[in-house]
Amino acid sequence: MRKNLILGLALSSALAIGSFAVAAQGAPGPGGPGGWGHHGGHHGMMDLHKLNLSDAQKASIKQIMKSSFGQNKSQFQAVRQQRQAFEAMNPSDSGYQAAAASLAQAEGAATTARVQQMANVRAQIYAVLTPAQQSQWATMKAQQQARHQQWQEFKAQQKASGGSQSGQ
């Protein structure tokens, strides 16, 4: 179970680092040219390209993302190196459990930093938007949350009814 927790933390960190890398390079992220679509992690950066951003706004947001990526890059690299060293160990090695505990602590600290960093990025991007764009963003977020809720309800209904229709 502990190994699954560590693996889960490692995967979530890798996804976060990958998302930052895509955004910092100016490449379209999961949401398209604005980066940060609703599938771009759990960061709330939803489909910014749908807000009809001006060139100046796009440049500001790109700069925000670039500087954000650079802020915790060294911490993410250190955690990655620590993870690689741990993965190279055998469970029978002395210090294996201590290395696991140390890695878990480092992963936790990196997750905390990532969440705080994304909150800061979101606030900075929000400040770049016009009041009309902020309102549109809020509407898009509410719509996405409603779709997510519908999906959760659908999954619950499928689970309650046995999952598939093939048994009928």
Domain ranges across the chain: 2-32+47-129, 131-161
Q: What is the pLDDT of residue 27?
A: 36
For residue 68, the tally of other CB atoms under 10 A from its CB is 19
147 sits in which H/E element: helix 131-160
Q: Is residue 10 predicted with pLDDT exceeding 50? A: no
The pLDDT tens digits of the residues spanning 92-125 come to 999 999 999 999 999 999 999 989 999 999 999 9
Q: Is residue 130 predicted with pLDDT exceeding 50? A: yes
The pLDDT tens digits of the residues spanning 61-82 come to 999 988 888 887 888 899 999 9
CA dist 48 and 140 (Å) reads 10
Q: What is the pLDDT of residue 80?
A: 94
Looking up tokens 């994304």 gives: 118
Q: Single out the residue of 133, 163, 103, 108 nearest to residue 34, CA to CA.
A: 133
